[in-house]
């Protein structure tokens, strides 16, 4: 039974909707009775009352990034991918995430790791993140409304991710809870904050800072060229205990 689905138009892949199997979906291409999804399997097609076909796909983290409601600016998939790749995140890892925002990072991490605890000091952001996690259906993510600078824990974390302003103070707190050989990964929008992160991580090993530039290639009637969207979002610094 399909409970959550990404509906993608067979004719135009840019027309897509993230839905639950309840109620109706009203689109410019017609109305879909979402109750029908419960009798379908992923990979099936569903048709609007106007005859437009949509493919029923199982949502994945990039789909949630695109469609979930956001608060603030979430870390981009290209930066999240860098953290996952350079820390070797796996399904045995316990993760601490701070600066939850909309919960996008926590959802990406929770799709891989055994468990994620994510701290968010802003109550509105924390509520939105908790709603997004419930929408996704991941049960291995805990959204904590609170200040990571005041946290205490008996858990050792294999990976700590930090996307917040008080980067130096946060590193000073969370490093006490890092498992031997574990990683801290920070995201900094400005050079100055990246410098501060590196100084705070000076006693760690394997310290690397990345700027990940992404350029999508656009294919059109006039020709093929890189997209003009600016690729810079910030700097990812990764260090190992």
pLDDT tens profile 189-235: 999 999 999 999 999 999 999 999 888 899 989 999 988 776 789 99
Number of domains forming the structure of the chain: 2
Which residues make Cβ contacts (< 8 Å) with residue 234, sequence separation at least 6?
A: 75, 79, 187, 188, 189, 190, 211
Q: Please check whether residues 85 and 13 belong to one and the same domain.
A: no
| Stated pTM of the model | 0.88
Q: Please check whether residues 45 and 81 belong to one and the same domain.
A: no
Q: Please check whether residues 179 and 132 belong to one and the same domain.
A: yes
Distance CA 57, CA 46 (A): 11
The number of CA neighbours under 13 Å toward the Cβ of 198 is 14
pLDDT tens profile 48-73: 999 999 999 999 999 999 999 888 77
Q: Please check whether residues 54 and 69 belong to one and the same domain.
A: no
Rounded to the nearest integer, the mean pLDDT of the chain is 94
Q: Please check whether residues 10 and 83 belong to one and the same domain.
A: no
pLDDT category at 105 given cuts 50, 70, 90 is very high
Closest CA to 107 of 69, 136, 86, 71: 136
Q: Please check whether residues 212 and 230 belong to one and the same domain.
A: yes
Residue 92: C-alpha distances to residues 62, 104, 111, 115 (Å): 22, 20, 12, 8
Q: Please check whether residues 116 and 188 belong to one and the same domain.
A: yes
Q: Please check whether residues 141 and 27 belong to one and the same domain.
A: no
Output the pLDDT for position 74. 80
Q: Please check whether residues 29 and 139 belong to one and the same domain.
A: no
Q: Please check whether residues 86 and 25 belong to one and the same domain.
A: no
Closest CA to 188 of 162, 223, 227: 162
Question: CATH number for the domain including 173?
Answer: 3.40.50.150
pLDDT category at 5 given cuts 50, 70, 90 is very high
Range of the domain at 18: 4-59
Using DSSP's 3-state secondary structure scheme, residue 44 falls into: coil
Neighbouring-strand partners of residue 4 = 20
Q: Please check whether residues 123 and 222 belong to one and the same domain.
A: yes
Which of 36, 59, 82 represents a domain boundary (last residue)? Answer: 59
């Amino acid at each position: 039974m399909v409970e959550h689905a990404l509906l993608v138009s067979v004719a135009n892949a840019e027309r897509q909707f993230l839905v639950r199997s309840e109620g109706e979906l009203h689109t410019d291409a017609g109305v879909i009775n979402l109750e029908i999804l419960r009798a379908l399997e992923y990979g099936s097609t569903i048709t609007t009352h106007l005859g437009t076909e949509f493919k029923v796909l199982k949502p994945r983290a990039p789909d949630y990034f695109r469609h979930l409601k956001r608060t603030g600016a979430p870390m981009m998939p290209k930066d999240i991918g860098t953290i996952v790749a350079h820390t070797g995140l796996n399904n045995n890892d316990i993760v601490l995430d701070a600066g939850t925002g909309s919960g996008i990072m926590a959802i990406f991490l929770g799709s891989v790791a055994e468990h994620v605890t994510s701290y968010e000091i802003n109550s509105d952001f924390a509520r939105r993140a908790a709603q997004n996690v419930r929408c996704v259906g991941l049960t291995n993510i805990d959204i904590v409304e609170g200040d990571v600078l005041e946290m205490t824990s008996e858990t050792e974390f294999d990976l700590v991710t930090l996307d917040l302003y008080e980067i130096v103070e946060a590193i000073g707190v969370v490093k006490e809870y890092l498992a031997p050989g574990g990683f801290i990964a920070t995201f900094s929008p400005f050079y100055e904050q990246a410098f501060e992160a590196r100084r705070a991580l000076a006693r760690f090993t394997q310290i690397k800072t990345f700027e990940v530039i992404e350029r999508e290639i656009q294919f059109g009637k006039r020709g093929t060229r890189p997209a003009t969207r600016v690729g810079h979002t910030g700097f990812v610094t990764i260090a190992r205990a």
